[in-house]
Chains A and B, each alone.
Chain A
Amino acid sequence: MAEPGLIAIGAGIAVGLAGLGSGLAEKDIGAAAIGAIAENEKLFGKGLILTVIPETIVIFGMVIAILLWLNM
């Protein structure tokens, strides 16, 4: 069994970095989506979808973190 503290740090890194990755990806899409919505409000639905697509990345990180945490 590995050191619980190290596992916890690993889980933290998994969620943290994945979150950063999602954020970086979403910021550009979100900015562009807001621009598009400003021009045509009907694009809200599509803008929302495109914006949240990279969000799955952080879910991956979180699943890894949970799996690590369960092994503590």
Chain B
Amino acid sequence: MLLPKQMTRVLVVGSRDALKDTIEVLYQLESAHLIDFSSEEEGFGLGAPLPSSSDASQKLLKLRSLEKDLALEAVEVKGQVEVAKIEEEIATTIIELEAEITGATESKNVIQARISELEAERVLLQNIQGIPLDLELYHGYDSLRVFTGKVRDNPSEALVAAAPQHEVFLAEGGTFVAVFVAKDMAEEAHKVLLQYGFTEVPIPSGKGSPKGQMDRTDEELATLRGSLEEAVKKLEELRAKHATFVKAADEHLSIIVEKAETPLRVGTTDHTFAMDAWVPTQDLPQVEKAITDGLGGKVHLEPLRTMPRREAHGHGHEGAREEEVPSKLENGRTAKKFEFLTYLLSPPKYQEIDPTITMMITLPIFFGLMVGDIGYGIPFIILGALGLRKCTSNEWRIIATLLFFGGTWATIFGVFLYGEALGLHFAAQPHDMSWASLLGVDLPHELSLGGFEIPLGIYSKLHNVQEILYISIWIGIVHLFIGYCIGFYNKSIRYGIKHAIVERLSWLMILVGGALLLLFMVDIMIRGMAAEMTDWRLLAAIVLLIVGTVVAYKGEGMGAILELPGLMGNIISYTRLAAIGMSKAGLALAFNTIAFEVIFAHDYLVPGSNNGDIVMLIVALVIFAVGHLVVFVLAVLSAGLHSLRLHYVEFFMKFYEGGGVEFKPLKVIRKYTIEKTGTGE
């Protein structure tokens, strides 16, 4: 079925001391989507977290801080740990780890602090390197003020006038100055200095020449850096040793906390609990059996009602909460990857067809049509296959899937429809370059296989524009036709057949009428046939258009009339299939021409041909490679995005509403931990 799975709303009630076991059973079944309890009902209150939660939360808090110290986010952890082992070792391990890691981190921090302190001092010392004074001479005067700092210019002359009793030392380069001045003249001297852009820089305390002090600093820095390295290494060792366990313990504790906090979503009284949930109708017997058998009669499951897809048209607010039936999509392994694209827009409603499958089929075809070149198609396939093998994140996997299938179609269209590789046709062309002329071999236009003539290239993207445009318009019509058909089905199961006819069949008629009119017009305007007013296509088109418009007007009012040009715009929008193929072919042609006609002329017969010049050949090949890489990257962006857009905008608008709720059952995903089978089943 293309619709989301049918759901039944159930009420699970039981004695409060059985709540923990009920939660455990539901987590194992993985098919109950809990409805958050709203505290409006009388006599019920929110449940309290299970007692296991606080202990686990505390441990988790400690563990997370340890993880931060170990910088585990950046590490890829492999391997799994058994739950039993974690349970057994966690308490002692956390204490041990805390001692070790805290020690190592602390010593690392202390060393780092000292290093930055010394580095700052070193910079200060660097300033007074050029002044021949010992460090102790800068401090400890009663009648002298010492100014040390940076200046823009040499202030000596100005100082002579302002404060006669002074001594100036200028470091090499003239931007650092040390001024010794009598205390009573200090203020004037400071003013003068300020005019020279003086900013004070303190002199570190110490003894001996700045040079000697600097050497000592350097020495200490060297030893500190050594011990820092050691500390980092020790942390790395700790990380390597404990990463798996810490990650696994984190996961295990998170699961415990999540389970323990489930009662917060459940309504309870002093002695009972009531849990509201959605269960797929198909899984209901199994859930019922697990609850009645597994919990010793303390808990009862009552199916309330199986949600129909049907609903009243334009209904109001009553039962708005009940409205939100979660949609559990049913897709195979390949289609599942495309679900990401559906969710990117919005999850489907419970009452409508999940469009993932349609997208899985047509999206790569559109992509392939736009690229249509074996020279890009095969790299796409390889990239996609590599991506599927290596990538783990959802976003990259969907891109890889799209590249793989899109590349496959691009190769198929590239061989049979366009007969192209890297913008060049296989077989010899009357005016253009082709692989045949470039390599000097004879390539066939057709492939003879068991008596069948299989064409290798029917159309050229740049020479048969009219035909390709015409084909893309028909692709648009067919695509929209499918869209309206799905829309018709959606409306009929949701609001009944009458609404479906008024709102969707009317548009189907308009679309078919328009298509017939197009056929007729093409005959007259392009093939130049005489216009006959009794042509059946014209008559049928007029009838369909008029009836469709009238029915649509009855159903939707003026809006329907306004939407008519919109439908035409939608169809014309599909000409981008041709346009993007064309633009890519044009770019490729430009690069090919530059490489093999302008730089490296390959034809012996052309005057001025530099055939055989190896340097020119290399330059031409480099330009060829870079140019096609550009086209290749652009192909992903433009072809990928535009085929997505054709689906999201033109296609989905005809039937898709979205805005549903994702089915999220109670379940745990274990990545780093293994639970021994046989527990609780």
The answer to whether A and B belong to the same complex is: yes
Q: A interface vs B, CB < 8 Å? A: 44-46, 48-49, 52-53, 55-56, 59-60, 62-63, 66, 69-70
Residues of B within 8 A of A60 (CB): 569, 572
Distance in Å from the Cβ of B563 to the closest Cβ of chain A? 14
Given contacts A45-B345, A63-B575, contact A55 B645 (CB under 8 A): yes
- Partner among A45, A62, A66 whose Cβ is within 8 Å of the Cβ of B346: A45
Beta-carbon nearest neighbor of A62 in chain B:
B579
On whether the beta carbons of A44 and B344 are closer than 8 Å, the reply is yes
On whether the beta carbons of B345 and A62 are closer than 8 Å, the reply is no
Distance in Å from the Cβ of A29 to the closest Cβ of chain B? 13
Residues of A within 8 A of B469 (CB): 63, 66
Q: B interface vs A, CB < 8 Å? A: 344-346, 465-466, 469, 569, 572-573, 575-576, 579, 641, 644-645, 648-649
- Partner among B345, B572, B644 whose Cβ is within 8 Å of the Cβ of A56: B572
- Partner among A46, A59, A66 whose Cβ is within 8 Å of the Cβ of B573: A59
Cα A44 to Cα B572 in complex, Å, equals 25
Residues of B within 8 A of A66 (CB): 465, 469, 579
New A-B pairs, 7, CB < 8 Å, besides A44-B344, A66-B465, A70-B465:
A56-B572, A59-B572, A59-B573, A60-B569, A63-B572, A69-B465, A70-B466
24 A–B contacts, CB within 8 A, in A order: A45-B345, A45-B346, A46-B345, A48-B644, A48-B645, A48-B648, A49-B645, A49-B649, A52-B641, A52-B645, A52-B649, A55-B645, A56-B572, A56-B573, A59-B572, A59-B576, A59-B579, A60-B569, A60-B572, A62-B575, A63-B469, A63-B572, A63-B575, A66-B465
Cα A69 to Cα B463 in complex, Å, equals 11
Residues of A within 8 A of B572 (CB): 56, 59-60, 63
Distance in Å from the Cβ of A62 to the closest Cβ of chain B? 5
On whether the beta carbons of A49 and B465 are closer than 8 Å, the reply is no
On whether the beta carbons of A49 and B573 are closer than 8 Å, the reply is no
Beta-carbon nearest neighbor of B342 in chain A:
A45
Residues of A within 8 A of B575 (CB): 59, 62-63
Beta-carbon nearest neighbor of B345 in chain A:
A45
Beta-carbon nearest neighbor of A65 in chain B:
B579
Residues of A within 8 A of B648 (CB): 45, 48-49
Residues of B within 8 A of A52 (CB): 641, 645, 649
Cα A56 to Cα B469 in complex, Å, equals 15
5 tightest A-B contacts by CB?
Answer: A45-B345, A45-B344, A52-B645, A56-B573, A49-B648
Cα A63 to Cα B568 in complex, Å, equals 13
Beta-carbon nearest neighbor of B466 in chain A:
A70
Cα A44 to Cα B641 in complex, Å, equals 13
Cα A49 to Cα B645 in complex, Å, equals 7
Residues of B within 8 A of A55 (CB): 645
Cα A62 to Cα B581 in complex, Å, equals 13
Cα A12 to Cα B344 in complex, Å, equals 36
Cα A62 to Cα B649 in complex, Å, equals 19
Residues of B within 8 A of A69 (CB): 465
Beta-carbon nearest neighbor of A49 in chain B:
B648
Cα A44 to Cα B466 in complex, Å, equals 36
Distance in Å from the Cβ of B217 to the closest Cβ of chain A? 48
Beta-carbon nearest neighbor of B574 in chain A:
A59
Beta-carbon nearest neighbor of A63 in chain B:
B575
